[in-house]
Amino acid sequence: MRHMIFILTLFASGLQAQESKPQKDELQDKRIVALAPHIVESLYDIGAGDQIIATTEHSDYPEAAKNIPRIGNYARLQIERIVQLAPDVIIAWQTGNPQDDLDRLKNYGLNIVYSNPTTLASVADELLMLGEITGRTTAAQQIARQFSQRLEALESKYSNARPVTGFYEMWARPLRTVANKAWLQQQLVVCGVKNPFASLSEDYPLIGLEQVLASKPQIVLQPTPHSPQNTDALNWQQWPEIPASKHGFIFHPDADKTHRMTLRMLDEVETLCRQVDKARDFYLAH
């Protein structure tokens, strides 16, 4: 009798645990407010795009994301609208959303999960996290593994390559570059680009043009839309004394890809590494 009671108790405990754990279908029905473009993009990558009921401005990829209702931007969120939507979960960008608005949403009892990718490798961690939230762990694991393998292959390919001195024109007026632990600085490291300003304490410091010219960059990175077609951008051909201008190594990475913590970011980094490698070969030959 005691043995039977023990078995029944275990059975009941198992049922209770099973009931308390969200089922896959239940997770895939979660209604999500995604508060950053990279979160939206990654949710689509793992097949959870249809669960997004609202997002912020500039969430424009993939094409279907353009139809998602907007409830704010990086500077301000529409608290009342979000509360009315009653999402099952809000996925916020820890460093890209106004903290006071997030605190207000938390006070309303809404469930907030934070996205906080700080390294290129952490894109894979983000995918795994989103997979757990949406019940798409298998797809997330597969995509995250592929991403990690591609990143590791790039790092291995260029880790011992001869460095190429480069300047990244983050913004032209005033002139701003990348340094320290900046997202874009990490991309330069992967491709073997030596940034003369990498040791500055700020991630995106202001810099003097004279300092840039004195560093004699072999390549200049001028991301779109800050390309020559933009009247606010610098025309580096004005300074033919720097190798990058003299030899035509001015590259224009797609900012919509490189600035976002997504799979497409790595596509653009691969392209950048190939461009840098061509410049590297040229300078080695001359």
136: domain CATH number? 3.40.50.1980
Residues 196/215, Cβ–Cβ less than 8 Å: yes
Same-domain pairing of 187 and 280: yes
What is the residue range of 177's domain?
A: 161-285
Residue 205 in any domain: the answer is yes
Residues 117/123, Cβ–Cβ less than 8 Å: yes
Q: Rounding to the nearest 10 degrees, give the CA dihedral for residues 90, 75, 199, 243.
A: 110
Same-domain pairing of 178 and 139: no
Q: Count of domains in the chain? A: 2
Residue 67 in any domain: the answer is yes
pLDDT, tens digit only, all 286 positions of the chain: 545 444 444 445 454 545 455 666 778 889 999 999 999 999 999 999 999 999 999 999 999 999 999 999 989 999 999 999 999 999 999 999 999 999 999 999 999 999 999 999 999 999 999 999 999 999 999 999 999 999 999 999 998 999 999 999 999 989 999 999 999 999 999 999 999 999 999 999 999 999 999 999 999 999 986 444 556 789 999 999 999 999 999 999 999 999 999 999 999 999 999 999 999 999 999 9
Residue 96 in any domain: the answer is yes
Q: Has this prediction a pTM greater than 0.85? A: yes
Residue 18 in any domain: the answer is no
Same-domain pairing of 63 and 107: yes
Q: Which of 146, 178, 213 is the last residue in one of the domains?
A: 146
